[in-house]
Amino acid sequence: MNFKHQYVELSDGHFIPPLGLGTYKLQQVPNSNVTEATKIAIEAGFRHIDCAYVYQVEEEVGLAIRSKIADGTVKREDIFYTSKDWPSPSGCPTLTAGSWR
């Protein structure tokens, strides 16, 4: 995959690939599969990785990203990791102070 000219400009001037790897998995799929799939996706050219706390695979995705940084496939500044902040049971968002920076 070649994303060289396929980016969307963000309000801060950075460019993010519009296509990202979704990391949701079914419960019966081992979490280790997410690590391997994420590594393969990065090797194939994905630079936008989408995750969420409720997927329960954030650690595995992080391991894959760190592995691909360590082996020189990518630099940290090449990767866009996006996540979701879910509403709390009371219906109020659970944003942290740094979420909007």
81 is catalytic: no
Which letter, b or e, does each residue of 44-72 get, where b requires 16 or more Cβ atoms within 10 Å of its Cβ? eebbbbbbbeebebbebbebbbeebbeee
Could you say which of 7, 24, 53, 55 is catalytic? 55
Cα–Cα dist 47/41, whole Å: 8
Q: Which residues are catalytic?
A: 55
